[in-house]
Amino acid sequence: MKQNILNNVKNIYGWKTNRKLVVISVDDYGNVRLDSKAARENMKKSGLNLDSRFDKYDTLETREDLEALYDVLSSVKDKNDHPAVFTPFALSSNIDFEAMASDNFQEYIYELLPQTFQKLSNRQPLAYSGAWELWKEGIDKGLMKPQYHGREHFNLRLFKGKLKKRDRHLLISLKNNSNIGLKSVGFENIKYTAAFGYSSLDEIAALKDIAIDGVKNFQQVYGYNPCHFMAPTANVHGDVVSALKPHGIVAYDRGIVFKEYQGKGKYKTKYNYTGKRNKDGQIILVRNVVFEPTSDSSIHVDQALAQVAAAFYWNKPANISSHRVNYCGHIEEKNRMIGLSQLNILLKKIVKRWPDVEFISSSDLIKIMRNE
């Protein structure tokens, strides 16, 4: 009963449409988290806590990950005979592990995503040979339409602080070409994976620079300018979002309730809905369907369908929120098989229940909302 009420309440306000629009927003693509099964075992033996499913299974997408995903997306067609499409909220940069190692991990150095894929293709050819080419093929075929998730998926202030202190766990992770299992102790209001998290408003200027640099990298990597921003962990100050407007970001994601940190232990609570605009005219999108098929729950499809139904009842687009980890099989193939089989069931049930459904990317939705 409580979940049913929540499904409906979060769809009452905001932009409406009579069309049955489905967007699939998937975070974390392009991000190196765990290098390999061997790296994971090395880190576990060294004492790193790798209990979360992200630390267990989340790797840069392999060729097989993408091939299997494309098969599922292509297996369903909407009313316009279009396949399902992922909007991967993607990174453009990763840690340059080799360059940092050559300097004994003294300074942070990053590389662009194609370079990451090339290195992994050389070191792990069975998994990564041809993966970047397949990524670009997915974009060309309209199965993947990436949008902006940031420059990196970790907090640079926290990372540099740990690096300066020669944090044992960080160095173990870096020496294994990975970026996992790290804690945020001693940093107020900052989680390690929150790239735009901050302890003081004085840090906002530096975060703006990182965000702008990341958009420029995105354009270089993916071949076009993003229009939609979802910050890692969703934690980002409004001024950082506003700074991206001159660089093409016209929309961004927020939770229905967002507590923006004001410094000194104080927060400002803001309530959001799809179609709300900030002071600079940027559109807010609120994801109203959750689909995490490899998490602990066992009723993912039914939960997601109920949330899609609520969205359509209130004439809202169904914006499905998910994460790449659900579709990763490099460490454990069974993880990918579960995630994609559940995704396949969900998509087929959506098409059967709503024959007039339309699968679109978030950029398509934004164009519709802006009457472009």
Enter the CATH code of domain 2-369: 3.20.20.370
- pLDDT tens, per residue, the chain with 372 residues: 667 777 777 888 999 999 999 999 999 999 999 999 999 999 999 988 888 899 999 999 999 999 999 999 999 999 999 999 999 999 999 999 999 999 999 999 999 999 999 999 999 999 999 999 999 999 999 999 999 999 999 999 999 999 999 999 999 999 999 998 777 777 778 899 999 999 999 999 999 999 999 999 999 999 999 999 999 999 999 999 999 999 999 999 999 999 999 988 889 999 999 999 999 999 999 999 999 999 976 678 999 999 999 999 999 999 999 999 999 999 999 999 999 999 999 999 999 999 999 999 999 999 999 997
Beta bridge pairs of residue 148: 90, 229
Query: pLDDT value at position 1?
Result: 61
Residues with Cβ within 8 Å of 356's Cβ and at least 6 positions away in sequence, in order, are: 19, 20, 79
Query: pLDDT value at position 10?
Result: 82
Cα–Cα distance measured from residue 39 to residue 219, given in angstroms and rounded to the nearest whole number: 31
Query: pLDDT value at position 298?
Result: 64
Beta bridge pairs of residue 277: 283
Query: pLDDT value at position 240?
Result: 98
Cα–Cα distance measured from residue 110 to residue 198, given in angstroms and rounded to the nearest whole number: 21
Residue 295 · residue 325 · CB < 8 Å: no
3-state SS class at 340: helix
- Least Cα distance to 93 among 217, 178, 234 occurs for 217
What letter would DSSP give residue 153? S
> How do beta strands 357-359 and 318-323 pair?
unpaired
- Least Cα distance to 343 among 86, 20, 19 occurs for 86
Cα–Cα distance measured from residue 258 to residue 13, given in angstroms and rounded to the nearest whole number: 16
Distances (CA, A) of 290 to 136, 206, 212, 310: 27, 32, 29, 12
- Least Cα distance to 23 among 224, 289, 252, 257 occurs for 289
**Amino acid, single-letter form, for residue 125:** P
**Amino acid, single-letter form, for residue 48:** L
Query: pLDDT value at position 184?
Result: 74
**Amino acid, single-letter form, for residue 255:** G
Domain boundaries defined on the chain:
2-369
Cα–Cα distance measured from residue 324 to residue 59, given in angstroms and rounded to the nearest whole number: 9
Helices and strands, counts by H and E, the chain: 15, 13
Q: Of how many residues is the chain composed?
A: 372
Q: Which two tokens stand for residue 76?
A: 């369903």
> How do beta strands 257-263 and 266-271 pair?
antiparallel
Cα–Cα distance measured from residue 199 to residue 25, given in angstroms and rounded to the nearest whole number: 28
Query: pLDDT value at position 263?
Result: 85
**Amino acid, single-letter form, for residue 283:** I
